[in-house]
Amino acid sequence: MSVAAQVAEGCVTPEERRAAAEADAAGRHEPGLREGGIPADVLRRLLPGDDVVVLEEPHVAGGLGYRAVKRAFDVCACGLALIVLALPMAAVALRIKSESPGPAIYAQERDGRGGRVFRVYKFRSMYADAEALGARWAADGDPRVTPFGRWMRDHRVDEVPQFWNVVRGDMSLIGPRPERPAFCEAFEERIVGWRYRTKVRPGLSGLAQVSGGYDLLPREKVVLDLEYIEKRSLALDLGLVLRTLGVLGTGRGAR
How many angstroms separate the Cα of 12 from the Cα of each of 22, 34, 82, 235? 15, 28, 41, 34
**Distances from the Cα of 104 to the Cαs of 89, 125, 242, 243, in angstroms?**
10, 9, 29, 29
42 domain-assigned: yes
User: Is the Cβ–Cβ distance between 143 and 150 less than 8 Å?
Assistant: no
Q: Where are the beta strands (DSSP E) in the chain?
A: 53-54, 105-111, 117-123, 172-174, 191-192, 203-205
Structural domain for 137, as ranges:
3-172+180-199
Four-residue CA torsion sign, 2, 199, 242, 89: positive
- What is the per-residue pLDDT for 8? 47
Q: Please determine, for residue 7, whether its predicted confidence score (pLDDT) is greater than 80.
A: no
Nearest to 182 by CA among 18, 19, 35: 35
Residue 50's pLDDT is what?
A: 87
- Please spell the DSSP secondary structure of 64-83, one letter per residue: HHHHHHHHHHHHHHHHHHHH
The pTM assigned to this predicted structure is 0.86
pLDDT above 70: percentage of residues in the chain: 82
**What are 134-171's pLDDT values in tens digits?**
555 555 667 888 999 999 998 999 999 999 999 999 99
Please provide residue 118's backbone torsions phi and psi, each rounded to the nearest 5 degrees.
-130, 170
Is residue 249 assigned to a domain? no
Interatomic CA distance for residues 56 and 39, integer angstroms = 29
Going by pLDDT thresholds of 50, 70 and 90, the confidence category of residue 1 is: very low
pLDDT score at 5: 47
State the pLDDT at residue 254.
46
Is residue 245 included in any domain, yes or no?
no
Contact predicate 115/142, CB 8 Å: no
**Residue 138 falls within a domain, yes or no?**
yes
Q: Residue 67: inside a domain, yes or no?
A: yes
Asked whether residue 233 is assigned to any structural domain, the reply reads: no
Whether 242 is in a domain gets the answer: no
**Picking from 66-75, 86-95, 97-106, which range would have the lowest pLDDT averaged per residue?**
97-106
Residue 53 lies in a domain: yes
pLDDT at 174: 97
Number of domains in the chain: 1
What local confidence, expressed as pLDDT, does residue 11 receive?
Answer: 63
pLDDT of residue 17: 73
Looking at every residue in the chain, the average pLDDT score rounds to 86
Q: What is the DSSP string of 93-143?
A: HHHHHHHSSS-SEEEEEEE-GGG-EEEEEEE--B-TTGGGG---SS-TT-T
